[in-house]
Amino acid sequence: MALAARVLVSVLNKASLSSSLFSIYSLKKPCLHSFLRGLSPYGFSPEVCQALRVRRICTTTPVCMGRRSCKIAGRKDAQNVKKMKRNSKIGKEIVSAIKKGGPNPSSNTALAAVLEKARELDVPKEIVERNIKKASEKSQEAFIEKFYEVYGFGGVGMVVEVLTDKVTRSVASVRGIVKECGAKLADPGSILFKFKRVRVVSVKTDDIEKDQIISIVLDSGAEDVIEPNDNDDSDSENQSDRYYKIITSTENYSDILSRLRDEGIPFEADNGFELLPLNPIEVDDEAMNLNKDLMSKLLELDDVDAVYADQK
């Protein structure tokens, strides 16, 4: 028996496999399995014992994110994209204000208003400074506001908000994405009438009770308070990403912010305005996913600041 073990070790060494005997054993070949199982550990030669003390690699089943975790990650990604687009738009507005009225906020009321808005929205200082410097470049043009209207899927209409210094570039980019996704650009005015332009203040649902927020803002001139979608998950982790949207006119916007500050309620101001659909429509899952993909790709464009849809 000892002789057989030594012969086995010799063969393994010649095949350069002595350091991975466990790998061979794990193949569960009947003859080798039976042979090793029939041997007593105390009957092994030192060479076999050393071969059996090789490093074993253990594997476990990969951990996959469930549907709930994916929703949380997707919502956080959406919030990050929204913040990035908001900061980009503020930067463009700074450039345009300086191009039109100069770099001095004391004499340029438009610039002063944009800088104040940047402070309210907590836009990083480096973004503000970079765009102030960018505005001083002679080659840099002022940014122009444009809206492109799109026929989505399932009867959904979309409005693409753009602030661009090159209109030909922006329209070509938007048209390319729309065509790639199988949608269609609409004529000006075909979709925009389905939306109204409003100011929006967002308040997290875990910062205030529903009745309290309604009582405070309606007394201050708010037009409506939109609750989070009932389809969202209601667990505590997701609650931190759910918002009440306070809808108000431009005239009452400052009063709403002041009242919330007085009450000590944290809020997120908008970056100028939002387009609110007058009559949101329901679509099936397929159309919803196609519209979501189209909107995501449009938002990846540098010139695009927001995409609004009348989809529920």
Q: How much is the pLDDT for 183?
A: 97
CA dihedral 31, 15, 40, 37 (to 10 degrees): -30
Sorting pLDDT into bands at 50, 70 and 90, what band is 122? Answer: confident
Mean pLDDT of the chain: 78
The whole-number pLDDT of residue 241 equals: 67
Per the CB < 8 A criterion, the answer to whether 243 and 271 are in contact is no
Domains of the chain in sequence order: 2-52 (no CATH), 71-142 (1.10.10.200), 144-312 (3.30.70.980)
- Given pLDDT bands bounded at 50, 70 and 90, which one contains residue 50? low
Specify the length of the chain in residues: 312
Q: For the sheet containing 274-277, what is the strand order?
A: 224-226, 243-248, 195-204, 274-277
Pairing of strands 144-151, 157-164: antiparallel
Rounded to an integer, what distance in angstroms lies between the CA atom of residue 269 and that of residue 201?
5
For 20-24, 165-169, 184-188, which range has the lowest pLDDT when averaged over its residues?
20-24
Residue in 155, 114, 265 with CA at minimum distance from that of residue 203 = 265
Question: Which tokens go with 107?
Answer: 């004499």
Name the percent of the chain lying above pLDDT 70.
Answer: 71
Neighbouring C-beta atoms of residue 204, cutoff 10 Å: 17
The mean per-residue pLDDT over the stretch 64-73 comes to: 45
Nearest residue to 118 via CA among 132, 138, 134: 132
How much is the pLDDT for 47? 52
Separation of alpha carbons 155 and 50, rounded Å: 72
Read off the pLDDT of residues 172-229 as tens digits, 9 standing for 90 and up. 999 999 999 999 999 999 999 999 999 999 888 887 888 888 888 888 889 998 888 6
Q: Which residues contact 272 (CB under 8 A, 6 or more apart)?
A: 89, 93, 117
- By the 8 A CB rule, do 288 and 312 touch? no
Backbone φ and ψ of 203, nearest 5° = -130, 130
Q: How do residues 220-265 score in pLDDT, each as one tens digit?
A: 889 998 888 655 444 434 445 688 899 998 888 889 989 998 988 8
